């Protein structure tokens, strides 16, 4: 019985930005727990590069989550092919750094529209499909430690990821009547394409020493939280923002050298 709480057998999941990094780890984790997984990504080459791991090109949709009509079509194609949609992982994102004084409106819009508006659009159409299916569902939004902190040089990213918290709470309340739980995962410092090389720097060492777990995260560290929030074990959990950061957010000092 306990094992069944964490089984995703029979569930259909859509993972945005699932063609690399954290998104790929999340998607493979759901697949490993038994789910049928469809991923999205904008980069054709990256999409082709992961086809074998997800069962072929039919399990990958080229998608810009900022495009409402494309999002609507993507969700509809998943439901048409598999008859249902049970889980949405809103992971698609990007990153543009600049000081507030120098940041262009384009830099602002590209980041906020991808992380926040894209999550809204995907949730809107996924929730419609879940309501129509009549069996509830799970929406998991990927936030960040910058949902909690105010980083200089990244006001666009911090604003978008903080917005994810409000979006998660509001959707959790609105969609609860339909048996849909909405939660967020807040990753800490992870080794990804964006942070490549940073762990070996002085800054990377400071991050490690502020993390009670004593190390940087690896994308696979997020899988347990993702499976939990995607499955029946979390049926009475909604509106929660779960840090998966090795304790970084609660530490007030560095670990001893």
Q: Which domains does the chain have, with CATH numbers?
A: 3-243 (3.40.50.720)
State the Cα–Cα distance between residues 155 and 162, nearest whole angstrom.
Answer: 10
Mean pLDDT (whole number) for 225-230: 98
> Can you tell me the distance from the alpha carbon of 244 to that of 14, in angstroms, rounded to the nearest whole number?
21
Dihedrals φ, ψ of 20, to 5°? -175, 165
Question: What gap in Å lies between CA 228 and CA 146, rounded to an integer?
Answer: 23
- 147 — phi, psi (to 5°)? -75, -20
Which residue in the list 125, 146, 149, 157 is annotated as catalytic? 157
In terms of DSSP bridges, do strands 36-41 and 12-15 run parallel, antiparallel, or are they unpaired?
parallel
Ramachandran bin of 107, using left for φ above 0, alpha for ψ from -120 to 50, beta for the remaining angles: alpha
Residue 1 has a pLDDT of 55
Model pTM greater than 0.85? yes
Percent of the chain with pLDDT over 70: 99
For residue 132, pLDDT over 90 is answered with yes
Q: Would the pLDDT of 249 be above 80?
A: yes
Query: Is 125 one of the catalytic residues?
Result: no
């Amino acid at each position: 019985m306990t094992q069944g709480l964490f089984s995703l057998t029979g569930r259909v999941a859509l993972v945005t930005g699932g063609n690399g990094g954290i998104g790929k780890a999340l998607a493979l984790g759901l697949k490993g727990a038994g789910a049928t997984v469809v991923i999205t990504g904008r980069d054709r080459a990256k999409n082709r590069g992961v086809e074998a791991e997800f069962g072929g090109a039919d399990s990958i949709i080229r998608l810009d989550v900022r495009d409402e009509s494309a999002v609507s079509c993507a969700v509809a194609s998943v439901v048409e092919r598999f008859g249902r949609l049970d889980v949405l992982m809103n992971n698609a994102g990007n990153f543009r750094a600049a000081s507030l004084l120098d940041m262009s409106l384009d830099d602002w819009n590209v980041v906020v529209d991808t992380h926040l508006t894209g999550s809204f659009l995907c949730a809107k159409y996924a929730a419609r499909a879940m309501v129509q299916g009549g069996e509830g569902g799970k929406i998991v939004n990927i936030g960040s430690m910058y949902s909690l902190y105010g980083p200089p040089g990244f006001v666009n990213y911090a604003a978008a990821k903080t917005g994810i918290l409000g979006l998660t709470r509001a959707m959790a309340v609105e969609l609860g009547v339909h048996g849909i739980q909405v939660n967020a995962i807040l990753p800490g410092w992870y080794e990804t394409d964006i942070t490549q090389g940073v762990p070996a720097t002085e800054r990377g060492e400071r991050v490690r020493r502020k993390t009670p777990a004593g190390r940087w995260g690896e994308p696979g560290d997020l899988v347990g939280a993702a499976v939990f929030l995607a499955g029946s074990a979390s049926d009475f959990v909604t509106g929660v923002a779960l840090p998966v950061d090795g304790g970084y957010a609660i530490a007030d000092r560095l670990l001893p050298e």
